[in-house]
Chains A and B, each alone.
Chain A
Amino acid sequence: MMVKKAKEGDKDALVQLIMAKKQEYYKLAYIYMKNKEDALDAMEDMIVIIYEKIHQLKKEDAFYSWSKTILVNCCKRLLRRKNKIISLDLVKEEVHEGGFEQKDQEIILEKYLSQLNEKHQEAIRLRYFLDLDYQTIADIVKIPLGTVKSRISIGLKKLKESLEVKSHE
């Protein structure tokens, strides 16, 4: 019903649809963007695109999977742009002072994760950080189920290798 209203151009209905699953959307954006501001930016981009394209959505019950795919694409686009223009200015306050002891382990994990092929990284983040099942990942990222499985297993294998090499040094 809400999807129908949103399809008719009802902005309120659209915002409500997103807010109903705000945790899922926000965390999805967060694991790509890794900080609050960029995650919010990606969600803003997402809602604009959804609003402009929702009339193309044929199956209303596919709204959540469709809109999450859009969110993932928005994140990737923002990251692409960010990577190109990242400079000293951005590095400055990107990291706020502070932290916890476990930050170190996190940095190591992040470091090795970020060395994986982007596709493997993505699959691992979605599977382990968001606890999404294989099918959901396949739906959101728009790849076959088998590919999700192989990306996760290859990613894990590589991650294991790099962590092992490291701990033997």
Chain B
Amino acid sequence: MNEVEKILRKKKLEIDEIEVPEELETRLRAALKNRHSSKTIKGKWKIKVVAFLIAMMMIGYNVDTLAFYGKKLVGYDTLMSSNLKNLNELEKGQLIGKSYTFKNGEKITLDGIMLDDNQLLAFYTLQGLSENIDNVGSMSMEGIVGRHYMMGGQGEIDEKKKEVKWIMAFEPPYFFEKELRWTFTLTQGDKMEEGEIIFTLDRNKAMGHILKKEINKTIQVDESKIRFESILASPTTTVIKGTIQNIVELAKDQIIGERFRPDEIDIKLIANGKELLEQGSGMSTDMSGMKFDKEYEPLPTDLDKLQIQFVSFQADHDVHEKIKINKDEVNKSLKILGQNITINKVYEENGETYVTITTEESVLLSKVVLIIDGKKINLEETVLDEYDKRGDGRINHTRTLRFLGTGKDLQLDIHRIKYNKIYNQFIDIPMN
């Protein structure tokens, strides 16, 4: 335990040195400037809640509002996507209709669920809202062997601000699970109350999947391989899963100093020649490797062609490049891992050395030091960011690196570079 604690303590020393930014007080005052105490003006919070919900709608699942009528959920129309509306029309949801009332009178009702192989969607209503609209959270579905966490969702508040409807996605329960315990927490000021609703899954209502395929295709990127493993299309969503190979080496390389850290994978899913809307993505690392998943809207019913387009990949790469620079030189160009870097000028000011560089927008020297007369000087900060759009539509990023100290013999020592590379490769997924 000692070793871990030692590393943690070391990090603490660094945090101890963090200085409170000077602008803090100004920012706090500015934040309060146009605020009125809720004691005097009621209703201010509503604006904030609405803004929050709108944000959720833009970034969250594309789903519409619910309660059941007969065998269909009603009241969730504006929250449901056209796809979910169709599923609802086909009575694919399971009606639950169970409620829990918090001590403050607020009531939460699980109107219904929809279940398929990718997710469990919970449709619920909060009524008798007291203060904060989003004061109920921290949800999970618990089965007999484990918890299934919430993955995201979207809500909508009614005009009178007394009721909010949500569609929240959870990880799907295991196939053998029948009874689920839905837990949630109401937070009010410094008080918290946990509630639960227990319900039984009607497996006859579960929708399974419409397409499940192993992809097993590998694409070579600069220093690694991206492996597309599977696609699981269910009636509510389509999920592509994959791994970034060589992760074990990656982890090891982190100690040795030959690293490569993936950042962002841009993948499109194209069905019948039309791009499907991306609804979410994730990346996780464990000892078995780095995994990613991408989520898209459901596949069209008349599917005859399905393709994955691997658009681009961004990673942080270790390099070992030392570049001699001097103060008279202007616009020196160099290329590292195929990326153009221009050193526009090098100058001194008040005992400090400044280096202005231009690269393409996605290129970043993620670790760079300046060797002044043989001595390594860490980068103090990056200043003066400028972005220029070029004729070909690409964007140039110019900024100045500031180093403390001056000297005669200067070398820019680039240890690490981050960039985005376009691949645009297609993988066809066979339909049978």
- Interface set of A (CB-CB < 8 Å, partner B): 9, 11, 14-15, 18-19, 22-23, 26-27, 30-31, 36, 40, 43-45, 47-48, 51-53, 55-57, 62, 65-66, 69, 73, 81, 84-85, 87-88, 91-93, 95-100, 102-109, 111, 115, 124, 128-131, 142, 156-157, 159-160, 162-163, 165-167, 169
A60 to chain B, nearest CB (A): 13
Q: Judge whether B28 and A9 touch: CB under 8 Å.
A: no
Q: Could you tell me the distance between the alpha carbons of A27 and B264 in the complex, rounded to whole angstroms?
A: 29
Q: Is B201 an interface residue (CB 8 A)?
A: no
Identify which of B62-70, B170-178, B364-372 touches chain A.
B364-372
Q: Which residue in chain A gives the minimum CB-CB distance to B55?
A: A81
Q: Judge whether A111 and B379 touch: CB under 8 Å.
A: no
Knowing A44-B31, A48-B35, A128-B12, the reply to whether A95 touches B364 (Cβ < 8 A) is yes
A128: chain B residues within 8 A (beta carbon): 5, 8-9, 11-12
Q: Judge whether A160 and B4 touch: CB under 8 Å.
A: yes
Identify which of B113-121, B159-167, B220-228, B248-256 touches chain A.
B248-256
Q: Judge whether B29 and A15 touch: CB under 8 Å.
A: yes
- The contact size tier of chain B is 35 or more
Q: Which residue in chain A gives the minimum CB-CB distance to B369?
A: A98
Q: Could you tell me the distance between the alpha carbons of A84 and B362 in the complex, rounded to whole angstroms?
A: 21
Q: Judge whether A48 and B32 touch: CB under 8 Å.
A: yes
Q: Which residue in chain B gives the minimum CB-CB distance to A143?
A: B192
Contact with A along B1-38 (1 / 0, CB 8 A): 10111011111101100101101110111111001011
Q: Could you tell me the distance between the alpha carbons of A67 and B10 in the complex, rounded to whole angstroms?
A: 28
Q: Judge whether B15 and A129 touch: CB under 8 Å.
A: yes
Q: Judge whether A81 and B59 touch: CB under 8 Å.
A: yes
Q: Could you tell me the distance between the alpha carbons of A113 and B182 in the complex, rounded to whole angstroms?
A: 28
Of the A-B pairs whose beta carbons lie under 8 Å apart in the complex, a sample of 17, sorted by A's number, is A9-B37, A22-B20, A57-B190, A84-B60, A87-B264, A88-B420, A95-B364, A96-B379, A97-B366, A98-B382, A103-B367, A104-B254, A105-B10, A130-B12, A156-B5, A160-B4, A163-B7
Q: Judge whether A52 and B35 touch: CB under 8 Å.
A: yes
Q: Which residue in chain B gives the minimum CB-CB distance to A52?
A: B38
Q: Which residue in chain B gives the minimum CB-CB distance to A168?
A: B252
A26-B24, A57-B190 known; 10 new pairs, CB 8 Å cut-off, are A22-B24, A40-B24, A45-B31, A51-B32, A81-B59, A95-B418, A156-B4, A160-B1, A160-B4, A165-B287
Q: Which residue in chain B gives the minimum CB-CB distance to A165?
A: B287
- The 7 lowest CB-CB distance pairs between A and B, nearest first, are A98-B379, A44-B31, A128-B8, A9-B37, A52-B38, A97-B365, A26-B20
Q: Judge whether B420 and A15 touch: CB under 8 Å.
A: no
B10: chain A residues within 8 A (beta carbon): 102, 105
Q: Judge whether A40 and B189 touch: CB under 8 Å.
A: no
Q: Is B285 an interface residue (CB 8 A)?
A: yes
Picked from B40, B187, B264, B367, the residue with its CB within 8 Å of the CB of A98 is B367
Instruction: Find the residue from B24, B45, B187 having the highest chain A CB count within 10 A.
Output: B24
A42 to chain B, nearest CB (A): 11
Q: Judge whether B32 and A15 touch: CB under 8 Å.
A: yes
Q: Is B263 an interface residue (CB 8 A)?
A: yes
Q: Could you tell me the distance between the alpha carbons of A71 and B276 in the complex, rounded to whole angstroms?
A: 38
Q: Judge whether A88 and B28 touch: CB under 8 Å.
A: no
B380 to chain A, nearest CB (A): 8
Q: Is B152 an interface residue (CB 8 A)?
A: yes
B379: chain A residues within 8 A (beta carbon): 96-99
Knowing A9-B40, A15-B25, A84-B152, the reply to whether A129 touches B31 (Cβ < 8 A) is no
Q: Judge whether B39 and A166 touch: CB under 8 Å.
A: no
Q: Judge whether A96 and B152 touch: CB under 8 Å.
A: no
Q: Judge whether B11 and A73 touch: CB under 8 Å.
A: no
A98: chain B residues within 8 A (beta carbon): 367-369, 378-382, 401
B3: chain A residues within 8 A (beta carbon): 160, 163
B8: chain A residues within 8 A (beta carbon): 109, 124, 128-129
B29: chain A residues within 8 A (beta carbon): 11, 15
Q: Judge whether A11 and B32 touch: CB under 8 Å.
A: yes
Q: Which residue in chain A gives the minimum CB-CB distance to B33?
A: A11
Q: Could you tell me the distance between the alpha carbons of A24 and B79 in the complex, rounded to whole angstroms?
A: 41
A126 to chain B, nearest CB (A): 11
Q: Which residue in chain B gives the minimum CB-CB distance to A54?
A: B37
Q: Is B392 an interface residue (CB 8 A)?
A: no
